[in-house]
A and B are shown apart, each in its own frame.
Chain A
Amino acid sequence: MFAWRLLLRECKTGDVLTLLVALVLSVATVTGIGLFVDRLQQSFEVQSANLLGADRSVRRDDPIPTEWINQAQSEGLETAQTASFSSMVFSDQGLQLAQLRAVSSNYPLRGEFLVDQQMFGTGVSTKDAPASGEIWLSSRLASLLGAGISDKVRVGEVSLLVTKFLVRDPGSATSAFAIAPRAVMNQEDLAATQIIIPGARVRYAFLYAGEVENLERFDNSLRPMLGEGERIRTPIERGERVGNTVNRAESFLLLAGTLAVVMSGVAMALASSRYVKRHLTQFAVMKTMGATPKKLSSLMAIQITAIVLFGIIIGSGLGLLVQALIADLLSSLMNAELPSPSWSKLWLGAATAIISTLAFCAPLLARLVSVPPLTVLQPAAALPMRSTSLLLFGLVGMYGLMIIYAGGWQLPSILMVGLAVVTALVFVVGWGMFALSRKLSKQSTTGWQVGLAALHRRLVSNLFQLLVFTLIIMLSLILIGVQSNLVRDWQAQVPENTPNHYLFNAQATQVEDIKQYTQENGLATSDWFPMVRGRVIKINGEDVEALYPNRRDEPEIAERELNLTWADQIGEGSALLEGDFSAQGISIEQQAAIEANVGIGDELTISIGGLEYTLPITSIRSVDWQSMQPNFYLILPKTVLSNYQANYVSSVFLDQTNAADFYRFMSNYPTVSMLNIGELLKQVQDIIAQLANALKIVLSFILGAGALVLVASVRSTLDERLQEGALLRTLGATKQIVRQALLVEFGALGLFAGVIGAAGAEMALVGLQHFVFEMEIAFHLSLWLIGPIAGWGIVTIIGVFASRAVLKVPPIRLLRSI
């Protein structure tokens, strides 16, 4: 077919290749980042699944129906079960009420137990559940019972062998305050205990794991069978502790990908415009030979379809390679393997190719088809490129692409507003600057003046070039700004000495002793908070049960018994949002207030130890739940809570050098509970480090792509500059003058682009920080330095390097070759 033959012939020269390269770059960037983000998301899900012990769990008060298990297994899913209950545990030396969990042999389906052979040890991982006949006791339970490894303890009617000390089981990681002396045993021994009798308070959990499609299919068939108050829990909600961090990282990667889409769009538009410029006469010549517009349109359509197809195939392949490379780099840094990418995400790259072609390429190429044949005799007859409408077309396409990519309108809209403002700035400021440069270069005798004069002489093309430079610099600065903000925030979240052990159930007298020990040994602790249990029973005088007949809808503060405290000061990591913290009323956490639909002046009735207290809400606080400090939904006046005997809670940071001594010291206070969250904290720190690395890699990748677009942009106007340089040399200008003129022209373009780009980035960052990342708005002075300096330096280097032919090649050869 003629269209194919022509395309193949064209491929031998550069123009089709330039277009193909831009397309491949777009597809590869979007596919690469899309797949990588997908793998990271999957990896977070896996990590969160480790905290859940499975991919899904359903908790209920009745035993798990066999039907559920059979159906899940027939869907190819693995299943496990647990039963949690309170019971007395007996040893030779005593008895203790404990929280027990009987698990099936294949529990956990995801994640691991942390166990130790030493009491109060830090633990090693194991995937195996306790075997039948064995029991693992938490160190605290063991110390209360006076039991050690190889001792026997009795649960109900069955005697079990203590084989390990339990440090953490997957299901317990996020339920810090529900902690009691705990033990894990095998489910096979449950019946023999004879504890589970009708009416016994047992919480059963059904856990399952497997392939995503199977999970989804089973979820759908399970949902109608669930009873009231039962729901399918997924890893993401379970892993909320790291949720915010992960969400922000995802937003960043999404932002990076979206910016990559914009850069790709710019690259496509540049390549298309170069293609069109170089093919105008060719199309006119073909028209003189009798090629009708219809024929040329179909020729073009076939060729573009072929280019898009090749672009998608090669770009997707390259994208796969790129994401594998990024993942590999990350794995070697993190010592962890990422899950395989989801192939279904490949469509993103294909969609980018098609939409970019339609938005950036097709309108330009359509103009090519409508070029008047008279152009062959009178080049001025060529259609003027209506730049504004093309720009609008491209922007609409870009917006559409960003919406598809980001899966929402907020991020694209902020960026689009930023882009629109910057475009306007470029045209207004750029025009003003270039006009000024003309005034400064009245007599073009030195290189400086020639360079400045060139800025104004090629006003339109320089304004577009300035726009491209500015956009790329702005996008890069946005990413640099967000990345540094995120990493700084994360590092601040989990600083070096973040407490890694919670201490609770301490009595006032014990608090003094422990405080003394921690002070003498220089251990970092948080404040001690008194804790009294209470339940919200009325909101503004109305019973909670009447307000929420369906228990599922109950706000968290009314759903269960809460830990209440009093405090003179608002405390570290919290901030007063509204009201007066010192007033004699309730201080409520912001999200809890929103959920319960209450505000300042509303009244809550709280039942504490059988007495009811009705108090107004007098302040609303924000709480940083990730601070690892003890935090509370409700803070009550001391006058109310001081009537009750309070348990105190605090947190302490222990490391290898002082943990063992502290554990030994604490064994003097067996009633004080201690929860080691070091492992969990390490997990959070690992995720943060992993994310910071991922961000860095993606950032460098995007900056690299940005530099390539800059090169492409310089090349797009190179012919014009080479021609002018060659003419200047022919007219006797020294190399020095030509070089200086190029340095001045590119330097000025880079500098202006840097300044406007920094302004645009700062503006977009305000929106992004507020709406997308929900961070405090900070200004970035460094961007105002990096922008202009990098803009000036990089654009000058690229420009002068690309134009070096003017200085090296004899002018006549240059003039002939253009």
Chain B
Amino acid sequence: MQDTETLSALTIEKLNHSVATSNGELDILKGINLSIRDGESVAIVGASGSGKSTLLGLMAGLDQHTQGSIRLYDQPLEQLDEEGRAVLRGQYVGFIFQSFHLLPSLTALENVMLPNELKGDRSAKDRAQSLLEQVGLSHRISHYPRQLSGGEQQRVAIARAFASAPKILFADEPTGNLDSKNGALVEDLLFELNQKQGTTLVVVTHDPELAARCDRQIEIHDGELKES
């Protein structure tokens, strides 16, 4: 039996990505090579427009890359169609977004139940309640997103991200829309749950403090990777 600590969660080789624009092809990512170990926390930093979010999207299988290879838990993403990538995301991946993306028509509890309900998990409710308790929102479970503050919404989003016990969590500017107090609270929760569940964490951020709390920081500059 292999030791999971030594397993690679994500391996990227010779990744190139370009998009078509009215002025021809635009290269967004150029020759990226990267390996992330299982359980590791990695911060991706860089200037706006440097390609951070694009890289995050490709690593999570949200989009199809142009060239190269991305293996997520040994599955080559380039060989999967959208159906296959969705199944893979359901198995391994969790997300936290800058603008929370809670479903406005669902309560906090229902939002957290959603990932497990999609899988048909009958214990979705119990697990959601427990997670909301862990993020300190057990008194707000029947509130709708519009009735919650920004910090509270992001805490619900964190609970939702951990609900399906993902092996890898992708966070896109998780504190970008929050004030420093709420930002710190969210950061603490993120790392606390991350450690508790042994999740691999990939965070795109502008926040140097958040980046510093990660095991490793990599910087993207003009579509190219620079490990610091």
Contact = CB atoms under 8 A, between A and B. Distances in A.
A286 B105 contact: no
Interface in B172-188: 172
A209 B152 CA distance: 75
A288 interface: yes
B114 interface: yes
Given A377-B62, A377-B97, A377-B172, A290 B119 contact: yes
B142 to A, nearest CB: 11
Nearest to A817: B146
A376 B83 CA distance: 17
Q: B86, B88, B104, B172 — which one has the most chain A CB atoms within 10 A of its CB? A: B86
B93 to A, nearest CB: 7
A13 B111 CA distance: 14
A12 interface: yes
B152 to A, nearest CB: 14
A288 B89 contact: yes
A293 B105 contact: no
Contacts of B162: none
B62 A293 contact: no
Nearest to A294: B83
B90 interface: yes
A9 interface: yes
A290 B63 contact: no
Nearest to B84: A292
Contacts of B86: 287, 290-293, 295, 373
B148 interface: no
Contacts of A343: none
Q: A16, A293, A376, A378 — which one has the most chain B CB atoms within 10 A of its CB? A: A376
B62 A281 contact: no
A14 B105 CA distance: 8
B28 to A, nearest CB: 11
Interface in A247-302: 281-282, 285-295
Contacts of A817: 146
A372 interface: yes
Interface stretch (B38-46, B52-60, B213-221): B52-60
Interface string A351-387: 0000000000000000000001110111001000000
A460 to B, nearest CB: 18
Q: B53, B104, B107 — which one has the most chain A CB atoms within 10 A of its CB? A: B104
A374 B105 contact: no
B117 interface: yes
Contact of B91 (A16, A282, A290): A290
B105 A12 contact: yes
A291 B63 contact: no
Given A290-B89, A290-B90, A373 B83 contact: no
A732 to B, nearest CB: 25
B37 to A, nearest CB: 23
A13 B104 contact: yes
B193 interface: no
A689 B101 CA distance: 60
B162 to A, nearest CB: 12
A801 interface: no
A808 interface: no
Contacts of B54: 377-378
A292 B120 CA distance: 13
Given A2-B120, A289-B114, A377 B53 contact: yes
Q: A6, A15, A281, A288 — which one has the most chain B CB atoms within 10 A of its CB? A: A288
B93 A290 contact: yes
Contacts of A373: 62-63, 82, 86, 89
Contacts of A9: 105-107, 110
A285 B103 contact: yes
Contact of A376 (B88, B97, B104, B146): B97
A292 B101 contact: no
Given A374-B57, A817-B146, A289 B83 contact: no
Nearest to A288: B95
Given A281-B101, A288-B93, A289-B89, A377 B57 contact: yes
B26 interface: no
Q: Which 3 A-B pairs have the closest CB atoms?
A: A290-B90, A292-B86, A13-B105
Given A286-B118, A373-B82, 6 more contacts: A2-B118, A5-B117, A290-B164, A291-B90, A294-B83, A378-B57
5 contacts: A6-B117, A16-B105, A290-B91, A292-B87, A293-B83
